[in-house]
Structure 1
Amino acid sequence: MTGTVLVTYGTTNGSTAEIAEAVADVLRKDGLTVEALPAGSVTSVARYDGVVVGGALYAGRWHKDARRFVRRNRLLLAQRPVWFFSSRPLGTSVSDRDLPPVPGVRRAMNRLGVRDHVTFGGRLEEGAKGWVAGMILRSGKGGDFRDFGVIETWAKGVADAVTHS
């Protein structure tokens, strides 16, 4: 496939958007045409040949914009190659082991035939929105736990799959 790939995401504080942009950059470097857009702004996936969907995790659920995007576009997503990623875990839990998708994401993967899912570390820093975020920050557990080397390696695998399908 040499068409256009959509990288879309649901985020509250911007960390997942930055991961999505990193994924999009790798795909572009492999010669693909890529658009990276917030999930809430995508009206249709009809013009895309492949889709990467990312969602920040909150209380064991994907960001509402990512969930709504998948639900709204499920028929067309089932007809093209799709990859999912999640972000959020703080601390070293992500780098210590491969975290499985949360149940709602797993169900969507099974329904759509998603090719792969990965969970990346997240970022939570001063100024983050939300009561729970404030609590986490006050407890000293915030920080940036994203590993852009791991993100780029995964994105390279997506790029290889897209260009060879």
Structure 2
Amino acid sequence: MNDRMPVAHRVLVAYGSKNGSTAEIAQAVAEVLRKEGVTAQTRPAGLVTGDLTEYSAVIVGGALYAGRWHRDARRFVRRHRRALSRLPLWLFSSGPLDASAAERDLPPVPGVRRVEVRLDVRGHATFGGRLEQGAKGFVARMILKSGKGGDFRDFEQVAVWAQRIARELEQR
């Protein structure tokens, strides 16, 4: 008989979000992890203080704006790079305002790709974004005015990705 108990994982899902779309994806990831038996906490990346010693893995998500990851996600990774280099780490981006992210795997933007290489990231996914009336920012208003807004998130795709992470954690 095996007396060993499975290792309990506590995962931080930190995110950078301007209009709430990426925050909702982060919450969906954490919800799937919880259903899979993983303790998961979501936090805005800009509000995570202290060290990450209470976590056994981290997922960082950032909204994409003009080909760059959200500032809070970038700063989080920079601020916690030492701890992140020792933890299992996954990244996600959200932002394409079309169906492309649901149709095929989109590579990370160059800044996120550099993080992948430097921190030996376990995986990255790009999910569709959402831009709807009331969004903050001049550029967002211009995009909406041109008729290119909408909600392009695929929460089934998000769930499949999060389930894959839960399975990887289970094997650790």
TM-score, normalised to structure 1's length?
Answer: 0.98
Residues 102, 157 of structure 2: 8 Å contact kept: no
- Considering only CA atoms, is the larger Rg found in Structure 1 or Structure 2? 2
Of 14, 19, 22 in structure 1, the residue corresponding to residue 28 of structure 2 is 22
Residue 3 (structure 1) shift: 2.3
Query: What is the identity, as a one-letter code, of the residue corresponding to 1:24?
Result: A
CA-to-partner distance for each residue in 1:127-152, whole Å, 9 max, x for gaps? 00000000000000000000000000
1:112 equivalenced with 2:112 (yes/no): no
Query: What is the identity, as a one-letter code, of the residue corresponding to 2:126?
Result: T
CA distance in 1, matches of 2:52, 2:108: 23
SS in 2 for 1:78: helix
In the alignment, which residue of structure 2 is the partner of 1:102?
Answer: 109
Query: What is the identity, as a one-letter code, of the residue corresponding to 1:48?
Result: Y
CA distance in 2, matches of 1:80, 1:96: 30
In the alignment, which residue of structure 1 is the partner of 2:52?
Answer: 45
Of 136, 141, 159 in structure 2, the residue corresponding to residue 134 of structure 1 is 141
Tell me which moved more, 11-20 or 25-34: 25-34
In the alignment, which residue of structure 2 is the partner of 1:74?
Answer: 81
Identity of aligned residues (%): 62
Of 113, 121, 128 in structure 2, the residue corresponding to residue 121 of structure 1 is 128
Residues 2, 162 of structure 1: 8 Å contact kept: no
CA distance in 1, matches of 2:139, 2:126: 20
Residues 143, 149 of structure 2: 8 Å contact kept: yes
Of 30, 36, 47 in structure 1, the residue corresponding to residue 42 of structure 2 is 36
Q: Which structure 2 segments of 5+ residues have no match?
A: 1-6
TM-score, normalised to structure 2's length?
Answer: 0.94
SS in 2 for 1:23: helix
CA distance in 1, matches of 2:130, 2:158: 14
- RMSD of aligned Cα (Å): 0.8
1:163 equivalenced with 2:170 (yes/no): yes
CA distance in 2, matches of 1:122, 1:132: 15
Q: Which structure 1 segments of 5+ residues have no match?
A: none
CA-to-partner distance for each residue in 1:6-40, whole Å, 9 max, x for gaps? 00100000000000000000000111111100000
CA distance in 2, matches of 1:152, 1:95: 13
Query: What is the identity, as a one-letter code, of the residue corresponding to 1:159?
Result: A
SS in 2 for 1:27: helix
Query: What is the identity, as a one-letter code, of the residue corresponding to 2:52?
Result: V
Query: What is the identity, as a one-letter code, of the residue corresponding to 2:171?
Result: H
In the alignment, which residue of structure 2 is the partner of 1:85?
Answer: 92
Residue 95 (structure 1) shift: 2.0
